[in-house]
Amino acid sequence: MAKYVFVTGGVVSGLGKGITASSIALLLKSRGYKVFMQKFDPYINVDPGTMSPYQHGEVFVTADGTETDLDLGHYERFIDEELNYTSNITTGKVYSSVIEKERRGDYLGATVQIVPHITNEIKNKVYEAAKTSGADVVITEIGGTIGDLESQAFIESLRQIRGELGIDNTLFVHVTLVPYIYGSGELKTKPTQHSVAEMRGLGIQPDILVCRAPEMLSDSMREKLALYCSVPKENIITAKDEKNIYHIPINLYEQKMDEIILKQFGMKVNKINLGSWENLIKTVDNLNKEVEIALVGKYTGLHDAYLSVMEALSHAGYKHKVKVNIKWVDSERLENENLDVVFKNTKGIIVPGGFGERGIKGMIMAIKYAREKNIPFLGICLGMQLAVIEFARDVCNIKKADSVEFDNMCEEPIIDLMAEQKNIINMGGTLRLGNYDCQIKRGTLTYDDYKSEKIAERHRHRYEFNNKYKEVLEKNGMVFSGVNPESDLVEIIEIPKHKHFIACQFHPEFKSRPVRCHPLFDSFIRESSK
Ligand code: GLN
């Protein structure tokens, strides 16, 4: 039977609950256990797919095509396991499925209520994750902060799970803030005391406290928290601020976080193997060169919108021992600026994914600049679509080349709506999502990168390259180095005459791992740091 770790948050949001949950999972995996991860998001949206990146940051996509919270990206990067539809549960998902059952008559005349119907549904999602993954330990993070109205049904479900399975099979980790007060120069435990009191009011006694603080908590502070919160002193762990999140698992390990968990579960504390992670930390701490990569997009005011892209760039940097400094270029502003000045120190240009017409002009200008000045370029999804439009307009003289997404009456629809998308009315969950195969042409840059003819990558888009234009673009020097074997949809393009110009319709960033960077980011950073 699986064991369950629940990670809640207190005092404020943004304390690194996701990183804590991922670190726990990594440590348990490094002790030889099979782990699986799950996130509960209390909002009413069925998934974050319809939310603006400004609201929610990036939408992370799993191999099975589930649109999820960006924390799942951290999970996959830390534990290097593929997650799926059981890994991200929202209030919207829970209620939709309960209402569907009610309409079908499944509840046999009962009055459908939060307890037990909604809570049963939530509990089933936890048990389903354990069953389908076959994991020894499932780690579930609960979004939001204890005390939020919208997360109460989730918390109540966890209380019931503890009742059903007992303390040997369930464990509560509460991540809280221990703020530093300038002036008096002290760390303060009171907010944590209040948060734990609130949690107890909901019927849950945490087993471990993870206290986010700028420095290690002293013994006396831990004693005080132990007394007020009824948590053993050794179970009070500090999550010290770190510049690089990949340090966190090691910090938690040094405070025996994983041992405490395994002991509560009565599981063997196997020898740990953290070798590759320790090497990673060494690399991260000793990057001796720097390279400036310009990221040109329209959500540059909120870096979370490009979280996995930032991570993937860093990972490739680790491989090539360079620190990647991202220059954030707001494509809307670019339209009026001097590109030579903006890109003065830039060694590579990346145009990532995006939706809608705003800022497109600036992105196309940046792509043209990269192409003409022979600056390494990587285009992702929208970035590929725009690279093709730019090439068609400027190199092939198809001046009216455009995407139907920006102008649905355009005369030269180089980027068109996919056939299967034409009759879709609902916006949520209807993009081309998740893994699709891609056949790679031998003798291309792309083949050099992947060293394989058959790959699968994760997608999230509605529009596609229009194959009617393939021939003329090829004649002018663009190579279609990857296509989907079933649908013939273009997956990857490149310009061999250029130093390094590759763009793809999928999102390679989702598959990059800190200890194993993605081939397309690998070559992009390699060429940019030459
Ligand atoms: N807006 C484009 C499409 O829907 C690109 C999407 C993306 O970049 N993720 O096809």
Contact criterion met (CB below 8 Å) for 321 and 287: yes
CA of 22 to the centre of ligand 1 (A): 29
| CA atoms within 13 A of residue 517's CA, in its CB half-sphere | 23
Q: Whose CA is nearest to atom 8 of ligand 1?
A: 353
DSSP H helices, 265-334, are 275-285, 307-320, 331-334
Q: Whose CA is nearest to atom 9 of ligand 1?
A: 353
Residues 406-433: tens digit of each pLDDT: 999 999 999 998 777 777 777 887 889 9
Distance (Å, rounded) from C-alpha 449 to C-alpha 522?
A: 8
pLDDT for 301: 83
Distance (Å, rounded) from C-alpha 272 to C-alpha 281?
A: 16
What pTM does this model have? Answer: 0.94
CA of 53 to the centre of ligand 1 (A): 13
pLDDT for 426: 79
pLDDT < 70 positions in the chain? none
**Burial class (CB within 10 angstroms; exposed 0-12, middle 13-18, buried 19+) of 452:** exposed
- Give the ligand 1 atom nearest the CA of 380: 8
pLDDT for 338: 86
Q: Which residues contact 47 (CB under 8 A, 6 or more apart)?
A: 59, 66, 67, 68, 88, 90, 92, 93, 428, 429
**Burial class (CB within 10 angstroms; exposed 0-12, middle 13-18, buried 19+) of 456:** middle
Q: Are strands 170-177 and 137-142 parallel, antiparallel or unpaired?
A: unpaired
- Give the ligand 1 atom nearest the CA of 460: 9
**Which residue ranges have their beta carbon within 6 Å of ligand 1?**
353-355, 381-382, 405, 460-463
Annotated binding site for Mg(2+): 71, 141
In the block, tokens 């490149």 appear at 494
CA 358 to chain centre: 24
Annotated binding site for CTP: 13, 148-150, 188-193, 224
CA of 96 to the centre of ligand 1 (A): 27
- What's the 3-state SS for 485-515? CCCCCEEEEECCCCCCEEEECCCHHHHCECC
Annotated binding site: 13-19, 54, 71, 141, 148-150, 188-193, 224, 354, 382-385, 405, 462
- Give the ligand 1 atom nearest the CA of 356: 1
